[in-house]
Structure 1
Amino acid sequence: MLYRDMDRAALDREYNARATVPDIAPIMAEYRARTEAARRALPCVLNIPYGPSEAERLDIFPAAGTGGLAPVFVFIHGGYWRLLDAADSGFMAPALTAAGCCVVAVNYALAPGATLDEITQQCRAALAWLHGNIARHGGDPARIHVGGSSAGGHLAAMLAAGGDWPAGFGLPPHPVAGGTLLSGLFELEPVRLCHVNDWLALDAAAAARNSPALLPPPRPGLPVVLSVAETETAEFKRQTQDQAERYRQAGCAVTLVPAPPASNHFDIVFQLCDSTTPLCRAVLGAMRG
């Protein structure tokens, strides 16, 4: 047994998100199609560099019709750290900009070409860029809410974590105002022990330092919204439930939103495209305070 009474075969099953749906290709295509539609329909500034490499870029969709600076929703895509792009990640912009929020889609280098340490550093650099520049696009740097799905949920949780890392990026001690973590991965030791490590190549130390579950918690009172689909594996559900409890014990304002019964690991993010869904209402509530 490698982890929690699971051997390698069991861990491979538990962390095989693709096996929970018949085919991910139509959902991946919908990410891109909805994002392309948002880019055509909305004012936006695309492919803004925040770092030296081609992958370090982001897209900004300014809030609609606001006077003053708007809260900012920063979305970090999933794809098990090896798939997708910011060009697949702006699908929630029509709903959230209409609700008075600025939306940012972050791109980052993918594994195995980049290590998880590098990917995390890039996302932190993107956050630092936003703190210094988002006001030029109508966003409030004091109200940056980070969100993500699956691997993106992990990266958003890394940005929400406490500790002394913000000082290295010229950031204030608590650089985010809230988080939305969908089907996230917060404890990476089981990930290290299954097939996902074929492209992540984590050792035990790298898994530990990139595990939000093991890092200092966010500041007390931080609003955190979490959700996981009913059709996901037991391990994905446990990861979300355990992290929600860690946040509660740290004094965060936790909202655990039940996902619709028909949702899955890949399409749960589309709940952000409709401001009437329980998930989107919870996110907007967290952002508006």
Structure 2
Amino acid sequence: MRLFECVASFYSNRISVKKRQKFSMKVYLDYTQSELDRQYDQRSLVPDPSPWMTPCVDASSSAKVAFNSHEDISYGDHPDELLDIFLPDGAGPWPLVIFCHGGAWKALSKDEAGFPAIPLVPSGIALAALNFGLAPDVPLDVIVGQVRRAVVHLKSNAAIWNLDPDRFFAAGHSSGAHLASLLAVTNWAALCGAPGLIKGLIAGSGPYDLEPVRLSARNDYLFLDEQTALALSPQSYLSANLPPAIFFWGGGELEEFQRQSRDLADVWASFGPTVERIFLKDFNHFEVGAEFLDPKSEPVRAMIKMILH
């Protein structure tokens, strides 16, 4: 064999070994890189989520017609900083659920996030569906700042919409559950002079610890470093002043999403607040999100009970 062929073969073998090592080494818990990437890829289990997402999208449109709704309310200077409010009939003041949509921080909008109004508004509970920037165009720390800014805007203008600023609750599904959890642990006293502004959390199947997210293929568009992942993980801010919480997830989900829900629920409860865990046997990730639409679902019934009792 010629010399250059031997050299080429040597380096080719080295590259192949490195590739095998990359995908056989454990990078988080007992997961290899390819296994971890799969754990944070919902489509690996559910290639077509439309049977569950389409009814939610349709219901979001219907809610704008069915209820007293106010669209495209600006809460900041950025064009993405908008929200929709859905109000019950009557004078109020109404308790408010602030809903953060999912979409892996890179997809969807408030226009697909009004569906929780279907069970909430007839129960005498207002809904604010938040819009915010999306990755990779908007960094995750900026997105977190946007949803916090939306809450401050809602508090400052509560009288305009007949909202009760003493009964604000945060809710979300998937990446929206991560954002809602951060709202629940935010130091509102420092931000707007309102300690304990969020009175309860309703979180469905969120990625709450961002370290494995950082190590997964999702970081190709999130660009998180270790310090930022820690700073944007809710458990970094847990304290004795946590509000009550409802965590729910499905038995048909990726194991990492089940673990994340179990772990945060356990740590949250260890600080003293009431924590309700709802395990939806055999439900996939998108079925879990669609529970926010069903008035008879266990998560919705628990949410309404938390807010009204």
Aligned partner of 1:197 in structure 2 is 219
Which range moved further: 270-279 or 14-23?
Answer: 270-279
Q: CA deviation at 1:273?
A: 2.3
Distance between the aligned counterparts of 2:239 and 2:62, measured in 1? 37
User: Gapped runs of 5+ residues in structure 2?
Assistant: 1-25
Distance between the aligned counterparts of 1:131 and 1:31, measured in 2? 27
Aligned partner of 2:7 in structure 1 is none
Q: Spell out the pairing of 1:69-218 with structure 2 (5 A cutoff).
A: 69-162=93-186, 165-217=187-239
Aligned partner of 2:42 in structure 1 is 17
Tell me the SS of whatever aligns to 2:250.
coil
Asked if 2 retains the 8 angstrom alpha-carbon contact of 1:102 and 1:138, the reply is: no
Code of the aligned partner of 2:76: G
Distance between the aligned counterparts of 2:58 and 2:239, measured in 1? 36
Q: Which has the higher helix share?
A: 2
Which range moved further: 149-158 or 134-143?
Answer: 134-143
User: Gapped runs of 5+ residues in structure 1?
Assistant: none
Asked if 2 retains the 8 angstrom alpha-carbon contact of 1:62 and 1:101, the reply is: yes
Asked if 2 retains the 8 angstrom alpha-carbon contact of 1:166 and 1:173, the reply is: yes
Tell me the SS of whatever aligns to 1:266.
helix
Tell me the SS of whatever aligns to 1:47.
strand
Q: Report how many aligned residue pairs link the two structures.
A: 284
Q: CA deviation at 1:215?
A: 1.8
2:85 to 45, 60, 64: 60
Could you report, residue by residue, the CA deviation over 1:112-140 in whole angstroms, capped at 9, with x for unpaired residues?
Answer: 00111000000100110111112321211
Aligned partner of 2:297 in structure 1 is 277
- Confirm or deny that 1:39 pairs with 2:78: no
Distance between the aligned counterparts of 1:55 and 1:269, measured in 2? 23
- Please, what TM-score do these two structures have when normalized by structure 1? 0.94
Distance between the aligned counterparts of 1:211 and 1:5, measured in 2? 21
RMSD in angstroms over aligned alpha carbons?
1.5
Asked if 2 retains the 8 angstrom alpha-carbon contact of 1:153 and 1:182, the reply is: yes
Could you report, residue by residue, the CA deviation over 1:71-103 in whole angstroms, capped at 9, with x for unpaired residues?
Answer: 111110010000000000001212110001001
Q: CA deviation at 1:168?
A: 4.8
- Confirm or deny that 1:288 pairs with 2:305: no
Could you report, residue by residue, the CA deviation over 1:9-56 in whole angstroms, capped at 9, with x for unpaired residues?
Answer: 111111111222130245443332111111122110001000101100
Asked if 2 retains the 8 angstrom alpha-carbon contact of 1:96 and 1:273, the reply is: no
Asked if 2 retains the 8 angstrom alpha-carbon contact of 1:183 and 1:229, the reply is: yes
1:231 to 252, 258, 281: 252
Aligned partner of 2:9 in structure 1 is none
Larger-gyration structure (1/2)? 2
Asked if 1 retains the 8 angstrom alpha-carbon contact of 2:189 and 2:196, the reply is: no
* Percent identity for Structure 1 against Structure 2: 34
Code of the aligned partner of 1:192: R
